Structure 1
Amino acid sequence: MGDFLVLLLFVFVLAIFVGFEVITKVPPTLHTPLMSGANAISGITIVGSLACMQMGNSFFASTFGFLAVVMATVNVVGGFMVTDRMLKMFGSKAKR
């Protein structure tokens, strides 16, 4: 179990570095589409957390599943609100 945990931690840290490098190379004009794609991927985490909550055999598993659903939902809603604000910056002044 310990070796598997180290492997998971290694993959997580590697994903952090790769994600940071990818995001810093994206020009500012592409940040809005990138955020929209990230919000769509975050929607998948809601589905996964719902599945985990439903499959929980104990109170703690169900509780952590519920917390995962709540946090993923807040992430998606907040992401779409920020994306909407960014898109409004590109609109005409009459629409504001």
Structure 2
Amino acid sequence: MDAMTLLTVFVLSVFVGFEVVAKVSSTLHTPLMSGANAIHGIILVGAVIVAGQAEDVWVLIAALLAVLLATVNLVGGFVVTDRMLEMFAGRKPAAKSEATK
């Protein structure tokens, strides 16, 4: 594909992604983020494949940037999911200290 087609697909995907996320209420945002971690993993695998097959320096730089951003997005999703699940875990009983035994 030529550069103009790739740029058009990129701009349209950014616009659609922004519109979809902007329409989600704040109470549903965290559960949707945790559910989307599988998609982020697929994006990371795709970015690694593109980086491995890059023949041009600029394509390699863009692919490595995509790997970095996808990794940050994937790890951030898991961190938010973990924090969300901790909120629902309940309180753990306090450990007895040696002085009270």
The answer to whether the 8 Å contact 1:39/1:76 transfers is: yes
Pair 1:95–1:66, CA change in 2 (3 A): farther
The residue that corresponds to 1:49 in the other structure is 47
* TM-score of the superposed pair, with normalisation by structure 2: 0.70
Residue correspondences, number = 92
Q: Which has the larger radius of gyration?
A: 2
The answer to whether the 8 Å contact 1:36/1:80 transfers is: yes
Q: Deviations over 1:9-47 (max 9, x none)?
A: 3454244223322x12x7x2x544312212111111101
Large movers: runs of 4+ above 4 Å: 1-7
Please, what is the CA RMSD of the aligned residues? Answer: 2.8
* TM-score of the superposed pair, with normalisation by structure 1: 0.72
Normalized per residue, which structure has more helix? 1
Percent identity of paired positions between Structure 1 and Structure 2: 40
The answer to whether the 8 Å contact 1:32/1:87 transfers is: no
